[in-house]
């Protein structure tokens, strides 16, 4: 069945450094890729998303890149801060009327002060 692989499962970086989280999806029909951030004890919140008609999207310190040929997409966080510490989930879905997303297993990011 369809799945999304997410790596790494845990990531520790020094404050100010960059963090990269990678996902690979299997369903070639996927064309919408959101990223969610879940702080400890809180709800997952959408932080950025990308559609398959673009290769990169940026929002301040956060960027997402997509390689449709390789079925890879990545989250890049620059100049990390302690408040970036959270679990990040990638997901793959479609814009064709489906309710389903396939989620990755999550990456626990720790930003060390």
Partner 1 sequence: ETGVTQTPRHLVMGMTNKKSLKCEQHLGHNAMYWYKQSAKKPLELMFVYSLEERVENNSVPSRFSPECPNSSHLFLHLHTLQPEDSALYLCASSHAPIAGANVLTFGAGSRLTVL
Residue 53 near residue 65 (C-beta atoms within 8 A): no
Q: How many chain residues touch partner 1 (CB under 8 A)?
A: 30
CB atoms within 10 A of CB 47: 18
94 binds partner 1 (CB under 8 A): yes
Closest contact distance (angstroms) between CB of 67 and partner 1 is: 19
Within 10 A of 81 (CB to CB), how many other CB atoms are there?
12
Interacting residues with partner 1 between 20 and 59 (CB under 8 A) = 32, 34, 36, 41-46, 49, 51
Residues 6+ apart with CB under 8 A from 94: 29, 30, 31, 32
Please tell me whether residue 92 binds partner 1 under the rule CB under 8 A. no
Chain residues binding partner 1 by CB under 8 A are 3-4, 9, 32, 34, 36, 41-46, 49, 51, 89, 91, 93-106
């Amino acid at each position: 069945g369809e799945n999304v692989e997410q790596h790494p499962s845990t990531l520790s970086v020094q404050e100010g450094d960059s963090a990269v989280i990678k996902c690979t999806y299997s369903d070639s029909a996927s064309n919408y890729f959101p990223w969610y951030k879940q702080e400890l004890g809180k709800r997952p919140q959408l932080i950025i998303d990308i559609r398959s008609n673009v290769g990169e999207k940026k929002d301040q310190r956060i960027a997402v890149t997509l390689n449709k040929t390789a079925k890879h997409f990545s989250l890049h966080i620059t100049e990390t801060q302690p408040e970036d510490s959270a679990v990040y989930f990638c997901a793959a879905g479609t814009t064709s009327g489906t309710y389903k997303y396939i989620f990755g297993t999550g990456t626990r990011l720790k930003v060390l002060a």
